Structure 1
């Protein structure tokens, strides 16, 4: 099945594995919060047990440097898209209120980005992540 849209998560390469996984998890959840239609339907196995839904389409995860992430943010917001972001400061906060305050305290150009997620039309997303490689 081919989708008209694409979901990407871009994560800094110079982080610990647990940090990369944490970023990807939070950003995927943020995308479903922004785009509820991304959530699929619940699953059921042959025994009749039900399970929660997953995101309805594949997510591509790209590797990036800090400079790459700034370019991605500029490209996305320049096209009036609303990406989800994760900054380095969020590793030291413990709740959503403190997370939002940490981001709000920093001007856009000074954000220490460690991850970005985006859901948009396929060709547009391809232009935004042009030059990046999938995360190994």
Structure 2
């Protein structure tokens, strides 16, 4: 059906509002990095125009920190589009501060709370293999 895949992995020890917040931010990153995934504008029967959404499904998985870090490493190895979100970003108030706390993270041991992945379907499937769909 689609030769690309979009997946989000969110940490399983977060509050529900944090999980939703992380996935929302990651989704904006994926759509920015891969604008070709966007569908057409929606129009209702009265002619009202609405925004467009992704033309393909987005799957959400959950994992602990170790599995998120493993997913991150595998995603880098396969050169997927990765959108990471680290715990320190919860304490910031805007994009510049988000980038600053992200830059301060140890690249080999990030305190990830979520990661978005986009790329060829087979490659994404190999990176997320063994993860469970989010049960929230």
Q: TM-score band, normalised by the shorter chain?
A: over 0.9
Quote the residue 2:68 is aligned against: 69
Residues 77-96 of structure 1: pairs in structure 2 closer than 5 A = 77-96=76-95
Quote the residue 1:112 is aligned against: 111
Equivalent residues of 2:81, 2:119 under 8 A apart: no
Other structure's SS at 2:108 match: helix
1:25 aligns with 2:24: yes
Q: TM-score, normalised by structure 2?
A: 0.96
Instruction: Measure how far apart 1:113 and its partner are.
Output: 0.1
**Distance in structure 2 (CA, Å) of the matches to 1:50 and 1:90:** 34
Instruction: Number of aligned residue pairs: give it.
Output: 135
Instruction: Measure how far apart 1:39 and its partner are.
Output: 1.5
Residues 30-50 of structure 1: CA distance to partner in whole angstroms, max 9, x if unpaired?
001111112211100000001
CA RMSD of aligned residues (A): 0.8
Instruction: Measure how far apart 1:81 and its partner are.
Output: 2.2
Other structure's SS at 1:23 match: helix
Other structure's SS at 2:7 match: strand
Residues 42-86 of structure 1: CA distance to partner in whole angstroms, max 9, x if unpaired?
100000001000111100000100000000000010112230000
1:7 aligns with 2:6: yes
Other structure's SS at 1:76 match: helix
Other structure's SS at 1:80 match: coil
**Distance in structure 2 (CA, Å) of the matches to 1:94 and 1:15:** 19
Instruction: Measure how far apart 1:110 and its partner are.
Output: 2.8
